[in-house]
Amino acid sequence: MQEKKKETRIEGIVISDKMNKTRVVSTESIVKHPMYGKYLKVRKKYYAHDEENKSKIGDKVILKSSIPISKTKRWIIVDIVGKAG
């Protein structure tokens, strides 16, 4: 029997809503450089599915991993935590 893979959840900010049912979400984390010890801000972009086009630019959202929806989309917007503005 196969074990179910644990679903991953990420919190980020919507940086683009120009596509239909797709949002670009940016996450930011702080990572320590292995050799120099300096702390760096690392940003990563995720393409997420938003079925009802509810989220707008600046909204804080929670993403959930899913099966591939298209060539680049592997995430689904589960909840809008905070509205922009």
Given this model, what pLDDT does residue 68 score? 94
| Number of compact structural domains in the chain | 1
- Asked if pLDDT for residue 58 goes beyond 90, the answer is yes
Answer whether residue 78 is part of any domain: yes
> Using CA atoms, how far apart are residues 83 and 25, in angstroms rounded to an integer?
14
- Asked if pLDDT for residue 71 goes beyond 80, the answer is yes
Which tokens sit at 25?
A: 């979400």
pTM equals 0.85
Q: Alpha-carbon dihedral of residues 56, 24, 27, 67, nearest 10 degrees?
A: 120
The neighbouring-strand residues paired with 75 are 48, 65
Answer whether residue 1 is part of any domain: no
Answer whether residue 31 is part of any domain: yes
Given this model, what pLDDT does residue 21 score? 95
Question: Among 62, 45, 43, which residue's Cα sits nearest to residue 54?
Answer: 62
* Mean pLDDT along residues 54-79: 95
